[in-house]
Amino acid sequence: MTETLSSPQIIKAQDHIENPTMAFAKDVLTGLNKSPKRLSSVYFYDERGSQIFEEICDLEEYYLTRKETEILQRSAAEIISKLPPNTHLVELGSGSSTKTRILLEAALASFGTTQYSPIDVSAEILTDTVKDLNQRYPDLQLEAIAGRYEFGMDYILKNSTSSKCIMWLGSSIGNLTRIEAAQFLREVRKTMGDQDSLLLGIDLRKGPEILEPAYDDAQGVTADFNLNLLDRINSELGGTFKRNNFHHQAVYNVDEGRIEMYLVSDIDQETEIKNIGAKISFHKDEKILTEYSYKYSHSEITALAEASGFFLEQQWLDDSGWFSLNCFKPQTNAAELRAL
């Protein structure tokens, strides 16, 4: 499916994907029958969840967005200067492209006309974003891809002849285990040419006194975000979860270097999910794991790059040294590439 907004702004939508409600139902049934129970963090972002996350980004405790914006405001021109002229900017999980606009403005100042392809699973968000970007930046060539990352990158690989900078901002890579992160980046590497770049946001290891409040703020906004998963199961799948019977918990596992978010049952209880014919029992204090957020040391970032077929060309930090933007460049040694 293709929707033309205003030439050359086009949204390409992935045609053959599983029905979202069916996929949600299947993953909920599978996850809640595991031991320990699990719900995927990808399901945080329904309409209400996305609104709550916007509130989280404005919280004093949630430093990540603020620190990454600081890096971009200070270093965007330098980041763009590392790229070949007229590099095609491609963003994974673009959302509303709010922070990305800092880079887009630097690219337009350096290159003049700039090509930008945001990739996101939400066609609705992309449509609004593309319309807004088109009005703000008339020299920006926009082609947005609605679908999974793999679909978007495959489409761009087949249709773009210029050098590319694939951008994955925020700290979404932290939602993958370290093994999963390397595996995913190896797949990204396979889509890239030797002159391409990967700009990757990675949150850094810090003490629990900083990390835990960022995921369990005093106002309870993050708790609302986590508990909204239960509301979503109720509204979309006929669940009978009672919010008041669960509470939010976020702990920093120092040994693993990750935040772990849970929904914790306050009582012994049984919940029905009518649309999938399931009844789920909980013991008091039983947990549902809803998110990992891995943090990295500087040596772990270098190791991640090397394990996935890249090398770390340059890194930018905020003034506190809490967050990093990293320019990964492809390894070109034939023996290294065969090992991927």
Do 70 and 176 belong together in one domain?
yes
Which of 141, 140, 121, 118 lies closest to 129 in space, CA to CA?
Answer: 118
E strand or H helix that includes residue 225: helix 221-237
Residues 190 and 328 in one domain: yes
Residue 22 lies in a domain: no
Q: 334 exposed, middle or buried (CB, 10 Å; 0-12, 13-18, 19+)?
A: exposed
Question: Do 280 and 164 reside in the same domain of the chain?
Answer: no
| Burial state string for 72-100 with b = 16 or more CB within 10 A and e = fewer than 16 | beebbeebbeebeeebbbbbbbbbbbebb
* 273 and 333 within one domain: no
Q: Is residue 29 in some structural domain? A: no
If asked whether residues 252 and 170 sit together in one domain, one would say no
Rounded Cα gap, residues 226 and 220, in angstroms: 10
Q: What is the pTM of this model?
A: 0.90
> Rounded distance, CA 108 to CA 93, Å?
21
User: Is 26 contained in some domain?
Assistant: no
Cis peptide before 138 (omega within 30 of 0): no
Q: Do 191 and 312 share a structural domain?
A: yes
Can you give the pLDDT at residue 336?
52
Report the CATH number at residue 194.
3.40.50.150
31 within domain boundaries: no
Cα–Cα distance between 89 and 114 in angstroms, integer? 8
Secondary element (H or E) of residue 283:
none
Kindly state whether residues 282 and 224 are assigned to the same domain.
yes
Blockwise average pLDDT, block size 10, the chain, 340 residues:
48 70 94 96 88 92 96 97 92 88 96 91 83 92 86 82 92 95 95 93 97 98 98 97 98 98 98 96 98 98 97 97 97 60
Task: Give 194's contacts (C-beta < 8 A, 6+ positions apart).
Answer: 330, 332
The upper half-sphere exposure of residue 254, i.e. CA atoms within 13 Å in the direction of its Cβ, equals 5
- Same domain for 267 and 188, yes or no, is no
152 & 237 share domain: no
Alpha helices in 82-198, H assignment, sequence order:
100-111, 123-136, 149-159, 178-190
Q: Are 335 and 214 in contact (CB under 8 A)?
A: no
Whether residue 84 is found in the same domain as residue 177 = yes
Which helix (H) or strand (E) element contains residue 234?
Answer: helix 221-237
Domain membership of residue 7 (yes or no) is yes
Identify the pLDDT of residue 154: 85
In sequence order, the 6+-apart residues with CB closer than 8 A to the CB of 217 are 56, 59, 61, 62
* Residue 20 within a domain: no
Same domain, 89 and 153: yes
Number of domains the chain contains: 2
Q: Is residue 127 part of a domain?
A: yes
Tokens of 227: 């508990």
State the residue range of the domain holding 122. 2-15+63-206+297-338
The predicted pLDDT at position 146 comes to 84
Q: In this structure, is the dihedral angle defined by the CA atoms of residues 106, 165, 160 and 1, taken in order, positive or negative?
A: negative
Q: How far apart are CA 295 and CA 258, in angstroms?
A: 6
Decide if 30 is inside a domain.
Answer: no
Identify whether residues 221 and 319 lie together within a single domain.
no
- Six-digit token pair at 333? 């040694």
d(CA 227, CA 34): 19
